[in-house]
Amino acid sequence: MKFDLNLTQINQTKTELSLLLCNKDFDFLSPEILQLSQKLDEQMLPEFRQQLNFYNYTLSTYTNFKFCK
């Protein structure tokens, strides 16, 4: 399964998060920071899943080992 990864959107969210962290004195529990962190996670999760699936396929093909499902 292929997901569209919007790198521009991810980079914008990362920049927003970095600036907000500085403005909030690195208060990682600030609601705004938590919200942006969650948004970034949601944007990047499909790519991480795809990479994990690839590694699982490679490992299972060559070693019969599965890292995660």
Per DSSP, the residues of 43-54 read: HHHHHHHHHHHH
In a domain, 17, yes or no: yes
Whether 68 maps to a domain, the answer reads no
Residue 46 near residue 5 (C-beta atoms within 8 A): yes
- Of 21-25, 37-41, 43-47, 60-64, least confident by mean pLDDT is 60-64
pLDDT for the residue 32: 96
How many domains does the chain divide into?
Answer: 1
pLDDT score, position 67? 59
Residue 2 lies in a domain: no
Whether the pLDDT of residue 57 is over 90: the answer is no
Written as one letter, the residue type at 40 is L
Question: Residue 36 domain-assigned?
Answer: yes
**Total number of residues shown for the chain:** 69
Is the pLDDT confidence value at 18 over 90?
Answer: yes
